[in-house]
Amino acid sequence: MKKKLLFIGPPGAGKGTQANLFCKKYGIDHLSTGDLLRDEVSSGSVLGIKAAETMNQGELVSDELVLSIVEGRLLNSNKGWLLDGFPRNVNQANSLKHLLEKINQPLEAVISIKIADDYLIKRLLARGREDDNEEVIVNRLKIYRYKTSPLIDLYSKQGILKEIDGNDDIDVVFSCIEKALG
Ligand code: B4P
């Protein structure tokens, strides 16, 4: 099973849900920038307060903050890792490339979870997190399309992209991911 991974997909595609299941089953580190940022927000730090404003508008938090969080975690990981929600733009993807070269741990596969917008909106409204209201969700989808989705082409050209249909039951999607990474 591949153990140096990246999950990419629009908000609500199920990246976090699938990444959790995968990391528990295969014993690798789950590096979710969304969760790490939410931890920073809960801590009440100055950085957290700034990040919360950005997240609640559905915008991307600064690359510097996200990178510093990811770098520390990757440097301390020795059993394999799964990046969930990072990188989210070309600049972050370039930084990740340099970082992985520096630590000599090449990315083995990228899972792209695909799903139609109306399902995403329904799922996120049902989840009901602070940044899950319709106006913010529409903004997050727009940002995903402009800034994040070009990365799919980038990883496809590197020959490491696997596309998964996210519009099915959680366990069915999980089996497809295991098959793609086996
Ligand atoms: P994230 O925390 O990454 O959250 P997400 O994209 O909204 O959700 P995800 O795809 O993980 O969906 P989930 O499994 O939860 O980002 C939040 C914010 O953090 C961003 O908007 C941004 O501001 C900031 N941020 C994060 N990373 C950043 C970065 N690198 N740079 C800058 N800013 C960054 O699933 C959603 C719901 O669907 C859940 O309720 C789940 O139970 C349900 N679900 C999942 N799979 C299902 C299925 N198969 N069937 C039915 N329901 C399902």
Distance from residue 16's CA to the centre of ligand 1 (Å): 6
Q: Is 10 in the pocket of ligand 1 (CB under 6 A)?
A: no
Match 């990883």 to its residue by tokens. 155
27-56 mean pLDDT: 94
Q: Is 61 in the pocket of ligand 1 (CB under 6 A)?
A: yes
Other beta carbons within 10 angstroms of residue 87's beta carbon come to 24
Other beta carbons within 10 angstroms of residue 43's beta carbon come to 10
Instruction: State the average pLDDT for the chain.
Output: 96
Closest of 179, 178, 161 to residue 6, by C-alpha: 161
Q: Over 90: is that where the pLDDT of 63 sits? A: yes
For residue 137, the model assigns a pLDDT of 96
39-43 mean pLDDT: 94
Residue-number span of the structural domain to which 148 is assigned:
4-181
Distance from residue 82's CA to the centre of ligand 1 (Å): 15
| Residues that are catalytic | 15, 88, 127, 129, 140
Q: Choose which residue among 7, 37, 56 to substitute to test ligand 1 binding: the one with the highest number of ligand atoms within 8 A of its C-beta.
A: 37
Q: Is 30 in the pocket of ligand 1 (CB under 6 A)?
A: no
Closest of 16, 33, 13, 36 to residue 24, by C-alpha: 16
Q: Give, using CA atoms, the residue closest to atom 6 of ligand 1.
A: 11
Q: Over 90: is that where the pLDDT of 59 sits? A: yes
Distance from residue 35's CA to the centre of ligand 1 (Å): 9
Q: Give, using CA atoms, the residue closest to atom 2 of ligand 1.
A: 34
Query: What's the CATH number where 118 sits?
Result: 3.40.50.300
Centroid of chain to Cα 166: 14
CA dist 161 and 145 (Å) reads 17
Distance from residue 1's CA to the centre of ligand 1 (Å): 24
* pLDDT, tens only, 64-119: 999 999 998 999 998 999 999 999 999 999 999 999 999 999 999 999 999 999 99
The two structure tokens encoding residue 142: 């727009």
Domains: count for the chain: 1
Match 């070269």 to its residue by tokens. 101
